[in-house]
Amino acid sequence: MRVEESIAIGELSRRTGVNIETIRYFERVGVLATPPRTSGGRRVYGTGHVRALGFVRRARELGFSPAEVRAILSLGGSAQASCSEVREIAAHHLERVRAKMEDLAQLESLLAATIDRCEGDGAASCAVIDLLDQPSSG
Amino acid sequence: MRVEESIAIGELSRRTGVNIETIRYFERVGVLATPPRTSGGRRVYGTGHVRALGFVRRARELGFSPAEVRAILSLGGSAQASCSEVREIAAHHLERVRAKMEDLAQLESLLAATIDRCEGDGAASCAVIDLLDQPSSG
DNA sequence: CTTGCTCCTGTAGTCACTACAGGATGCATA
DNA sequence: TATGCATCCTGTAGTGACTACAGGAGCAAG
C-alpha cells in the first residue's frame, strides 16, 4: 500500500484556505482530528485531513454553526455520516435561514420606506431618527 | 424649572429592557453618556438617558452595528442628529440588508434543492454530504 | 554550522456583551 | 439609632470563534 502524502500545517493551510492558527484551534476544540507528529513534534497531515478541513470550511461558508459542524462530524466524518441525521441538521438550518429571510424582508421594507419618507425633507423632523426613537413597533 | 426625575440604574434597566451590566458597558465604550453620581457614587440618570438608551436599543434591534450606533450618536444624539448623515448610514445599512437577503436566498434554494434530492434515498451517497464535500461552488 | 523558514506552545487580544465576587450605599422599618 | 435587605459599586474573568504575538525549537539547504 502507498504511504500517504505528508502535509505540514502550512501546506494544509494553503490548500484549504484556512488560517494556520485556526487549524490548531479546530484541533483544540475537536473539529479536526489530531494528526500524528514528527519526532520533533510537528503535525503531519494527510489527504484525509485536507478533505475533512475542506468539509468544515464549506459547512461554515454555508452558514452552519460550529456546533452543527461538530454535530455532523460526530456522526462519523464526511464520508460515513448518517444521511438522515445530516439531512435533519441541514433542514433545521434551512428553517433558520428562512426565518432570517423573513426578518430581513420586514426590516428591508421598514428601512426603505423610512428612508424614502425622509428624502427631500430638509425640515423639522427626520423619519429615520423618528424610527429609531420609537419604543418597539418594528 | 422642574428638577429632573432621578433614575437609578436598575430602574433604567427595567424601563429600557437593557441589562444593568450592559448599561455600564455602554457607558464605558462611549455609547451612553456618563451620568452624574450621588455622593455615595451611584449613577443618577434622567429621562434623557432613558430616551438615549432606548434609541441605542432600537438601533441595535434594527441591525445597526455598534459602530453605526456610535456614528449616529456622534452626530449629536437622537434629537439633534443631522438628518442627512443619519439617512446615509441607514441607506448603507439597507444595502447590507439587501445583500444579505440575496445571499440567503441563494443559500435557501441550494439547501432546499439539496435536501429535497436527498429525501427518499436510503442509498449510496447523500446529496447533503456531497454538497458539503464540494470545494466551493455555492 | 549557519541561515532562514516553518513550526511549536502558551498567552493574550478581539467584539459585544454577560457574570460573578466582594464590598459599599441607601432606604425603610423596628 | 440600629439593623436588615435590596440595590449598587468596581474589577476581573468568562463567552465564542477566532486571530495575533512572543519566545523558542525543528529542519533543509548551502
Q: Which one of B16, B65, B87, B137 would you mutate to disrupt binding with A, by most A Cβ within 10 Å of its Cβ? A: B87
Q: Name which of B105, B118, B133 is nearest A78 (Cβ-Cβ).
A: B133
User: What is residue A79's predicted lDDT score, i.e. its pLDDT?
Assistant: 56
pLDDT tens digits, chain A, 138 residues: what are they?
A: 666 789 999 999 999 999 999 999 999 998 999 999 999 999 999 999 999 999 999 999 888 988 889 888 888 655 555 788 888 999 999 999 999 999 999 999 999 999 988 865 555 678 888 888 876 544
Counting one residue from chain A and one from chain B, the pairs whose CB atoms sit within 8 A come to 126
What does the pLDDT average to over B79-87?
75
Judge contact between A108 and B70, C-beta under 8 A. Answer: no
Q: Quick one: how far is CA A64 from the chain centroid?
A: 5
Per-residue pLDDT, B118: 81
Average of pLDDT values for B43-49?
Answer: 96
Please indicate whether, in this complex, the C-beta atoms of A90 and B114 are within 8 angstroms of each other.
yes
Cα angle for residues B65, B71, B72 (degrees, 5° grid):
95
Is the per-residue pLDDT at B138 higher than 50?
no
* Residue B102 confidence (pLDDT) above 70: yes
B97 in reach of chain A (CB within 8 A) = yes
Residue type at position B107: L
Question: Distance, angstroms, CA B115 to C1' C9?
Answer: 43
DSSP B12-24: HHHHHT--HHHHH
pLDDT of residue B55: 93
For the domain made up of B1-64, the CATH class stated in words is mainly alpha
Grid coordinates belonging to B74: 456622534
Q: B35 with B26: CB under 8 angstroms?
A: no
> Which pLDDT score, from 0 to 100, does residue B34 have?
94
Considering only CB atoms, which chain B residues are within 8 Å of A91? Answer: 115
Q: Are B62 and A111 in contact (CB under 8 A)?
A: yes
Q: To the nearest whole percent, how much of chain B has pLDDT over 70? A: 86
Considering the segment(s) A9-133 as one domain, its CATH architecture is Orthogonal Bundle (1.10)
| pLDDT number for residue B121 | 58
